[in-house]
């Protein structure tokens, strides 16, 4: 968070006070989490209750540091509550109740998310190519809406899985279809965070490109493979570990994707400079300093969460497969991704490398990550066989 | 490296000491570290492309006799415990260790140091620095401290000898600890991993203390040289225990075989059960275990399932697999090349010599459920239960074996019920399926009787006669001689069909017929064969208790296709499963991994360290207040400077804000 001289002087005079809306938000968050635990707590084991409480605390901390999260989470909460209430415990109402059918059922929400992300991408491109700040603002707003709808889709899908049959109930991060939604949402949030901290919307086109690609895959996967069907969990996934391992992993994947897209921006700009000279219209749109900063910051964030995710995965593996590390292809590729970004970070921090080589490396890194995420499930066999195409 | 090494050898000082320093420099170099990270990443790929720890026979088949020994020597079948891979890891650990030992002392010193002795000159030279004048030293000190506290800095005041006051503020000192944690954790994790690796076993087998057993033997017959001592501190093995039985060993896979690890207790399996979801997919696998241990007052009973193991005396017992535990099977062997049907009683894992055939029968598996995805007409796949199946091998006296998987119940495909029998000649192949048309009872019996009828002389001749009658029904002028010759040629055709199949007949037709007539001739042959089959079927239905099938034309068409398949079936008999008593075995994984705690400690340090490195920013600010007299009035010169390791933009902003606010609050007019 940036800090200004005036704000410091004010604080010096009046003390460090939090605005009332922060307190109001915390109160609402506490109430909503309490209500959630009271309502569903009986269905959870101790670990799951701890995870819920931990998530609520993390959300609170995040929302205090980045206030846009407050509005987002309230919007998601309201929409989800509306969806839960209109279901009235009957899945069939997804087809009959107007709001469920067109907006709030998980399928509709995910469709809205997809459409909004694509529209946001277009608006960002318009803003970048025609240098229209208004269009970029629209892109940003659409991204926020898409993120909200994606989150609503996930939460409602969670609820729907229980409505189908209690046997089916599980958090929607268990197969490739569900994690692609998670990926789109997390990547968008990460980008939006950097956008707001740099007060610069020009790079949205790049970040949203990768999200649109994910959306395109999601739609293909849904319409050609029927992947949106909710199926019960395989026994190996039936564990509270999944609730933390998978999201932590996707913060990593999302951050690596953002960094690779920043690298693309860097390389495109460099190409335009070579082609059209230092002061061409496109090059002026791209703030190199921001691009390099975001590239580094997102790799650092991705690396930290990927480390955490891999460790959580090892803990889970110890419990499910009888060993914390089995050199299963997915594990091994996680290690490869980790080593790759460790090398990147050492070059950046110890050797002070920057510019095009690091950008290229970051792009290559995305392909390595992509293979770990998708390729392993498609081409290699192993213990992580749930996410197959 | 070599050129500089020779350069140093000529230089002054103890050469040994110099060499050691050079080695330190080499191992501590960032280039080496980054190279190692990348090389290990690339080397790791190998083990994800080549399936690891498969039976050697599978590799020979895959890579051929030339590459197999090369790959085996390079350790590519078990890359992650190959010598060269371990050496790479050792280099990485060494490199990290050297780096840490070189950097740690300075970093630890920095943790304690406030650096309050920095001179004003050097503060002037900092990237972030500002100078102003103030009138009130006390207010300045107070404001500085309050301001720093607002930004979460800790401060310390230092009175200098020259009368100046230095206030040092710092935060995020722990960033440096993050570096130490993150790097040392790699050493800790690798040590833990090494403790739990199979290196000890490999060494023992390499030295010759341990012999790797490759034969499939009952535990009682495994020679003692293949037993690992009970005290072996770390291992990971598997054991399959049928319901109602118990075991006190685990099998550890090693190279192309296994060794046996005794356990200090007995594991008895009371029951194994699988629960299914409403759509038929498995929901949970559970075993009810009883641990019989002398150290326990009474046996320990516990249910384990996937994701919930039992840990007893440091031995962790996991639900990892399940298999057949020797189910009792009632079989009928239907002859495919003539002879009598034989009924036998056997069980899974039995190997049988057969009276009527030279082949041996090896029963491998029985499965009660076979849930497979089936592509529906609407393009969606649906999970479908194919029912019970047996897997067995038919081994010829030459040693070659063909594997079969036979289903008990029919499967409806395109509205027609068939019973599947899959066969493959090599484990690397996919199964090829014979679709046997089901009779009214849903079994293969009618088809098998049809095969027998076409083979047995009496019934075959009757069918042939009827066929000849049908063919010559409208041609009374034809003589008996022609009828006999027709009967003979159809008989030969039938024999060829049954033994070699239609492909062989079509090859012969191409040889003997003119180009334009091949199609007509083949059609005629097909019609004759179909007539024989239909006649044999008709006789069967007439004389035996068989009920006619619903759609005879369709049944005969499918039977004809199946007869064609029988020619390539590879076995002189078909094994029909008549009945079974299901006995399951649970597959347990048993592990003892004392390195786990080290690995967990290392993992914790790693996460902590990485987050500290990235999210605890080490920043320092100095405020040096120097009194000066100007025209008889005391005033104070304030020099404020700041530094952070990363030289980040965020710190630049923070410094501007802090120094700006401080200057405005304490007298600087700007």
Residue among A16, A143, A345 at smallest CA distance from B149: A16
Residues B458 and B512 reside in one and the same domain = yes
Give the A:B interface size as CB pairs under 8 Å. Answer: 156
Counting the structural domains of chain B, the total is 5
Burial per residue of B316-343, b for 16 or more beta-carbon CB atoms within 10 angstroms, e otherwise: bbbbbebbbbbbebebbbbbbeebebee
- Chain B residues near residue A333 by CB distance under 8 angstroms: 48
Residue among A115, A113, A137, A111 at smallest CA distance from A124: A137
Residues, chain A:
389
The domains of chain A are located at 89-196+204-233, 242-389
- Chain B residues near residue A232 by CB distance under 8 angstroms: 277-279, 281, 283
Residues B386 and B416 reside in one and the same domain = yes
Inside any domain, residue B576? no
What residue of B is the nearest CA neighbor of A338?
B41
DSSP-assigned states of every residue in A69-108: HHHHHHHHHHHHHHHHHHHTT-TTHHHHSHHIIIIISHHH
Range of the domain at B398: 328-447
Strands B351-353 and B342-347: unpaired
Residues B158 and B65 reside in one and the same domain = no
Averaged pLDDT in 10-residue chunks for chain B of 670 residues: 42 73 84 94 91 81 87 88 91 94 90 87 92 88 91 92 91 90 95 88 84 86 90 89 92 86 94 79 86 92 89 90 88 88 90 88 88 69 80 91 91 86 85 90 89 88 86 69 84 88 86 83 88 89 74 89 88 91 90 92 97 92 90 86 85 91 77
Mean pLDDT value across chain A: 91
Q: Any idea what the Cα angle at residue B241 is, between residues B240 and B244, rounded to 5°?
A: 165
Residues B439 and B341 reside in one and the same domain = yes
Assess A308–B contact: CB distance below 8 Å, yes or no. yes
Inside any domain, residue B579? no
User: DSSP code of B565?
Assistant: H
Residues B320 and B226 reside in one and the same domain = yes
Distance from CA of B324 to the nearest CA of A (A): 19
Asked if the model's pLDDT at residue A117 lies above 80, the reply is yes
Candidates B40, B47, B308; nearest CB to A327:
B47
Model pTM? 0.79
Residues B388 and B279 reside in one and the same domain = no
Structure ipTM: 0.93
Inside any domain, residue B100? yes
Residues B637 and B657 reside in one and the same domain = yes
- Chain B residues near residue A320 by CB distance under 8 angstroms: 306-307, 318
DSSP-assigned states of every residue in B264-293: EEEEEEEEEEEEE-TTSSEEEEEEEEEEE-
Residues B416 and B486 reside in one and the same domain = no
What is the reported pLDDT for B669?
A: 56
Residues B158 and B64 reside in one and the same domain = no
Residue among A151, A152, A164 at smallest CA distance from A82: A152
Contact B284 A2 (CB under 8 A): no
Among B447, B478, B505, identify where a domain stops.
B447
Inside any domain, residue B300? yes
What is the reported pLDDT for A127?
A: 95
What residue of A is the nearest CA neighbor of B657?
A5
Residues B494 and B541 reside in one and the same domain = yes
- Residue A74: burial class (beta carbons within 10 Å; 0-12, 13-18, 19+): middle
Among B447, B479, B497, identify where a domain stops.
B447
Among B109, B138, B157, identify where a domain stops.
B109
- Chain B residues near residue A321 by CB distance under 8 angstroms: 318, 320, 589
Answer with the residue of higher pLDDT: A48 or B633: A48
pLDDT digits (tens, 9 = 90+) for A235-262: 778 889 999 999 999 999 999 999 999 9
Asked if the model's pLDDT at residue A279 lies above 90, the reply is no
What residue of A is the nearest CA neighbor of B660?
A5
Residues B269 and B347 reside in one and the same domain = no
Inside any domain, residue B457? yes
Inside any domain, residue B390? yes
Contact B320 A5 (CB under 8 A): no
- Percent pLDDT > 90 in chain A is 71
Say which CATH number the domain at B136 has. Answer: 3.30.310
The residues that bridge with A9 in the sheet, in sequence order, are none
Residues B341 and B254 reside in one and the same domain = no
What residue of B is the nearest CA neighbor of A361?
B38
Chain A, window 251-270: residues with a beta carbon less than 8 angstroms from a chain B beta carbon: none
């Amino acid at each position: 968070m940036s800090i200004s001289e005036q704000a410091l002087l004010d604080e010096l005079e009046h003390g460090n006070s939090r605005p009332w809306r922060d307190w109001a938000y915390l109160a609402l968050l506490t109430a909503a989490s309490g209500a959630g635990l009271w309502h569903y707590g009986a269905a959870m084991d101790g670990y799951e209750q701890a995870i819920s409480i931990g998530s609520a605390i993390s959300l609170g901390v995040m929302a205090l540091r980045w206030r846009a999260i407050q509005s987002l989470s309230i919007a998601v909460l309201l929409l989800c509550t509306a969806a839960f209430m209109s279901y009235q415990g009957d899945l069939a109402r997804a087809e009959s109740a107007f709001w469920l059918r067109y907006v709030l059922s998980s399928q509709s929400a995910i469709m809205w998310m997809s459409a909004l992300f694509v529209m946001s991408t277009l608006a960002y491109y318009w803003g970048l190519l025609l240098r229209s700040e208004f269009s970029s603002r629209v892109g940003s707003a659409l991204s926020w809406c898409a993120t909200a709808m994606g989150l609503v889709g996930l939460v409602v899908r969670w609820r729907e899985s229980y409505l189908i049959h209690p046997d089916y109930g599980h958090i929607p991060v268990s197969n490739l279809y569900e994690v692609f939604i998670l990926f789109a949402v997390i990547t968008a949030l990460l980008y939006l965070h950097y956008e707001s901290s740099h007060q610069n919307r020009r790079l949205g086109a790049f970040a949203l490109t990768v999200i649109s690609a994910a959306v395109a895959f999601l739609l293909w996967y849904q319409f050609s493979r029927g992947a949106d069907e909710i199926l019960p969990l395989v026994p190996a996934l039936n564990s509270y570990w999944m609730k933390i391992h998978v999201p932590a992993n996707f913060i990593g994947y999302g951050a690596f994707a953002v960094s690779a897209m920043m690298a693309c921006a860097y390389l495109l700009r460099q190409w335009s400079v070579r082609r059209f000279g230092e002061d061409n219209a496109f090059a002026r749109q791209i703030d190199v300093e921001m691009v390099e900063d975001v590239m580094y910051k997102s790799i650092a964030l991705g690396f930290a969460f990927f480390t955490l995710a891999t460790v959580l995965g090892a803990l889970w593996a110890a419990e499910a497969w009888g060993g914390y590390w089995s050199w299963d292809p997915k594990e091994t590729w996680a290690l490869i991704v980790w080593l790759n970004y460790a090398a990147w970070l050492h070059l950046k921090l110890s050797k002070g490398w920057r510019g095009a080589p690091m950008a290229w490396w970051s792009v290559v890194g995305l392909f390595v990550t992509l293979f770990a995420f998708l390729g392993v499930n498609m081409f290699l066999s192993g213990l992580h066989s749930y996410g197959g195409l | 490296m070599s050129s500089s090494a020779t350069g140093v050898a000529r230089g002054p000082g103890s050469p040994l000491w110099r060499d050691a320093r050079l080695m330190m420099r080499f191992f501590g170099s960032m280039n080496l570290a980054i190279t190692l990270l990348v090389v290990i990443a690339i080397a790791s790929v190998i083990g994800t492309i080549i399936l690891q720890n498969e039976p050697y026979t599978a590799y020979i088949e895959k890579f051929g006799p030339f590459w197999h020994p090369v790959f085996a020597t390079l350790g590519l079948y078990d890359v992650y415990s190959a010598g060269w891979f371990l050496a790479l890891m050792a280099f990485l650990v060494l490199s990290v260790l050297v780096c840490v030992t070189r950097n740690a002392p300075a970093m630890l010193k920095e943790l304690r140091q406030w650096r309050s002795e920095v001179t004003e000159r050097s503060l002037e030279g900092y990237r972030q620095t500002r100078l102003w004048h103030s009138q009130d030293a006390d207010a300045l000190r107070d404001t500085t401290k309050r301001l720093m506290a607002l930004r979460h800095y800790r401060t310390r005041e230092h009175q200098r000898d020259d009368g100046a006051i230095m206030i040092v503020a710092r935060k995020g000192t722990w960033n440096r600890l993050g570096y130490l944690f993150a790097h040392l954790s790699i050493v800790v994790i690798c040590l833990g991993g090494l403790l739990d690796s199979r290196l000890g076993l490999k060494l023992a087998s390499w030295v010759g203390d341990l012999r790797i057993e490759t034969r499939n033997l009952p535990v009682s017959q495994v020679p003692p040289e293949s037993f690992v001592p009970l005290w072996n501190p770390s291992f990971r093995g598997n054991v399959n225990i049928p319901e109602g039985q118990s075991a006190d060993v685990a099998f550890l896979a090693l190279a192309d075989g296994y060794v046996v690890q005794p356990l200090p207790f007995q594991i008895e399996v009371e029951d194994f059960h699988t629960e299914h979801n409403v759509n038929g997919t498995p929901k949970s696998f559970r075993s009810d275990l009883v641990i019989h241990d002398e150290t326990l007052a009474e046996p320990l009973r516990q249910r384990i399932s996937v994701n919930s193991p039992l840990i007893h005396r440091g031995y962790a017992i996991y639900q990892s697999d399940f298999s057949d535990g020797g189910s009792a099977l009632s079989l009928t062997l239907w002859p495919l090349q003539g002879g009598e049907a034989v009924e036998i009683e056997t069980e899974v894992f039995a190997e049988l010599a057969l009276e009527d055939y030279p082949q041996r029968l090896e029963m491998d598996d029985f499965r009660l459920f076979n849930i497979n995805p089936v592509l529906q007409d609407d393009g969606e796949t649906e999970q479908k239960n194919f029912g019970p199946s047996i897997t067995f091998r038919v081994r010829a006296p030459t040693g070659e074996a063909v594997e079969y998987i036979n289903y008990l119940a029919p499967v409806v495909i395109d509205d027609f019920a068939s019973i599947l029998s899959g066969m493959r000649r090599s484990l690397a192949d996919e199964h090829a399926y014979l679709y046997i048309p089901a009779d009214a009872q849903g079994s293969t019996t009618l088809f098998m009787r049809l095969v027998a009828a076409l083979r047995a002389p009496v019934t075959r001749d009757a069918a042939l006669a009827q066929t000849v009658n049908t063919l010559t029904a409208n041609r009374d002028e034809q003589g008996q001689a022609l009828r006999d010759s027709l009967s003979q040629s159809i008989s030969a055709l039938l024999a060829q069909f049954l033994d070699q199949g239609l492909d062989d007949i079509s090859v012969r037709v191409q040889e003997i017929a003119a180009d334009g007539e091949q199609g007509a001739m083949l059609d005629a042959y097909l019609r004759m064969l179909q007539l024989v089959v239909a006649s044999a079927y008709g006789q069967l239905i007439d004389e035996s208790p068989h009920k006619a099938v619903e759609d005879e034309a369709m049944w005969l068409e499918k039977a004809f296709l199946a007869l064609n398949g029988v020619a390539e079936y590879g076995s002189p008999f078909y094994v029909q499963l008549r009945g079974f008593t299901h006995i399951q075995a649970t597959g347990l994984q048993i592990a003892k991994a004392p390195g786990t705690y080290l690995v967990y400690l290392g993992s914790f340090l790693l996460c902590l360290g990485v987050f500290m490195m990235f999210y605890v920013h080490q920043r320092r600010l100095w405020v040096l207040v120097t009194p000066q007299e100007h025209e008889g009035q005391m005033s104070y010169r304030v020099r404020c400077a700041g530094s952070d390791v990363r030289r980040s933009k965020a710190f630049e902003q923070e410094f501007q804000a802090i120094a700006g606010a401080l200057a405005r609050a304490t007298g600087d007019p700007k």
